[in-house]
Amino acid sequence: MDIQRRLDQLKMQLPVGRHLELKLMVRLFMFSMATTSMLLLLGYNLWTHHIGMALAFSGVAFGLAVGLLVGRLSQLEWHHERDLIVAPMDKVSLITLACYLVFTFSKKWLFGFWLHGAVLTAFSFCILLGVMGARLFTTRQKIVAIMRERGI
């Protein structure tokens, strides 16, 4: 109970937080932490020359395209009774999760013909950086649009 009370206090301290469902705030936090982690890993792999600049940016660009597509398909809604922006678990989210798991376990099969070892791992980090960054961007964009629509 103490944790829930602390989370409610933190939520009220954020100007936007009082209008977001806790599950949505956790999702935004996970997207931002994953994006930051992948960005740091990309920087390390570029610094140590495990991956070239062109290959890294092509992986990020591919990830951004996928992330923007998935972000546009995902749904955020205004819950009238609770006065919150909620993120229901929809089919797009389940399909995205399934595709992420398939990608994780089959990246060697998908890209193994062209990339090997550390380059393959760094390339998959680049794709994930693009996907997570785009999901963070589109989710934030949808939150701002809903809040403007409501005059908040």
The pTM of the full predicted model, rounded to 2 decimals, is 0.76
At 53-86, the pLDDT tens digits run 998 899 999 999 998 988 888 888 887 777 777 7
Enumerate the β-bridge partners of residue 77: 86
Mean confidence (pLDDT) of the chain? 80
Is 98 within 8 Å of 32 (Cβ atoms)? no
pLDDT at position 7: 63
Please report which residue ranges of the chain form alpha helices under DSSP H. Answer: 2-13, 22-47, 53-73, 91-111, 117-150
Number of domains in the chain: 1
Tokens of 13: 């301290």
Q: Which domain holds residue 78?
A: 2-150
| Closest residue by Cα to residue 70 from 26, 144, 126, 133 | 133
At 84-141, the pLDDT tens digits run 777 777 777 777 778 777 777 776 666 666 666 777 778 888 888 999 899 899 988 8
Tokens of 4: 């829930």
